[in-house]
Amino acid sequence: MSQANGVVMNLPRSKYELVQRVNWSSLKVVGRSPAHYRHELLRQGADTAARKLGRACHLAALEPERYRHEVAVWTEGRRAGKKWEAFCSEHEGQELLKEDEAELCQAIQRAVRNDSAAAKYLAGGQGEVSLFWTHVTPPMGALPGYSLDCKGRVDFLATDRALVDLKTTRDASEDGFGREVYKYRYHAQAAFYADGYAAATGIRLPYVVVAVESAPPHVVQVYRVPDRVLDAGRELYRALLDRLHICREHATWPGYFDGEAELSLPKWAAGGADDDDPTGLGLDFSNAAQPEHA
C-alpha cells in the first residue's frame, strides 16, 4: 500500500501496517543485528497478548471514548467453547480483554487522567496519529547520499502543543525511567517521531513522555524530552538508518559481526563501567511543568 508524505488522522492500524516504509519498531532491531531485522520483517503481522494489552491501555488512558467502543471484556472464565466463540463473533474487530486486563487498563486510565501534569496535554487532541515522511541523508565527500521512506504512529498529538508518548514502566522515577529510556532506546524513538513530524509538516513540536507505573499505585510522571536527549537519540536512529541502507544496497544481512572475534568478558566483570549507566547521554529529564513551544 502506497501513502503520500504527511500527517494522517484516523487511519486504521490495519491500513497503517500495510504501508511499506521504515518504522521504529523494526528499525530498532537493526541495533541488535541486520539478520534480526530481516527476520522481524518476515514475521510482521504477528500479534501478541502483550501488544494487545498495550494497545488497550493506551486507548483507555489517551482516548477513553474509543476504549469504551473498541474494547470488549470477557467475564466467563476460560476462553474456550461455544460461548467464547459466540463472544468473539459478536465483538469481531474489537480488542478482547479478560477481567483482570480490563481492571489494569481502567486503573491506568484513572491514574493518567487524574494527574494534573498529564491531563493538560490530553485535554484536546488526537490519538494514534500516523506520520509519513522521507528521511534524506545528503552526500558527504565521496560518500553518496540516500533517502528512505519512513512512517511513525504517535500515541497522542496534543493540539498545537506537543507530541505525547505514553509509556508503562516499572519505575517512573527520574533515575529509574532514565535507565529504561537508555535501555529501550526511547530517546531514539522520540527523535525519530519528532523529526518525522517536522519533516511531514514543517512544524517542530516538543516531545512529552507520560510515564505510568504498571503496578499500584500507578504513579504518573510527565517528562519533557530536552534537546540534548533528542540529539543523542537522533545520532542513534540515523546510524541505524545508515546501516539499514548499506544492508539494502548490498543485499546482505549479517549477524553481530563477520568472521571470527576474540571472546571478551562484559565490562562489569572486568571492573569497568556499568553497561546500563545512562549518564553519558545526560538522560536526567527535565520535569518542569510548562511545555516548551517551537
pLDDT at residue 275 greater than cutoff 90: no
Domain that holds residue 181: 6-45+115-281
Q: What is the pLDDT of residues 16-34, one digit of tens each?
A: 999 999 999 999 999 999 9
Asked whether residue 291 is domain-assigned, the answer is no
Asked whether residue 98 is domain-assigned, the answer is no
Grid cell at residue 208: 512529552
Asked whether residue 94 is domain-assigned, the answer is no
* The model's pTM: 0.86
Confidence class of residue 271 from pLDDT cuts 50, 70 and 90? low
Residue type, 21: R
> Burial level of 3, CB count in 10 A (0-12/13-18/19+)?
middle
Q: What is the pLDDT of residues 226-260, one digit of tens each?
A: 999 999 999 999 999 999 999 999 999 999 988 89
Asked whether residue 14 is domain-assigned, the answer is yes
Which CATH number fits the domain that encloses residue 184?
3.90.320.10
Report how many domains make up the chain.
1
Is the peptide bond prior to 217 cis by the omega test (within 30 degrees of 0)?
yes
Asked whether residue 93 is domain-assigned, the answer is no
Asked whether residue 91 is domain-assigned, the answer is no
Asked whether residue 235 is domain-assigned, the answer is yes
Asked whether residue 140 is domain-assigned, the answer is yes
CB 213 within 8 A of CB 169: yes
Q: Could you tell me the CA-to-CA distances from 273 to 25, 267, 268, 276, 278 in Å, in that order?
A: 29, 6, 6, 9, 11
pLDDT reported for residue 10: 92
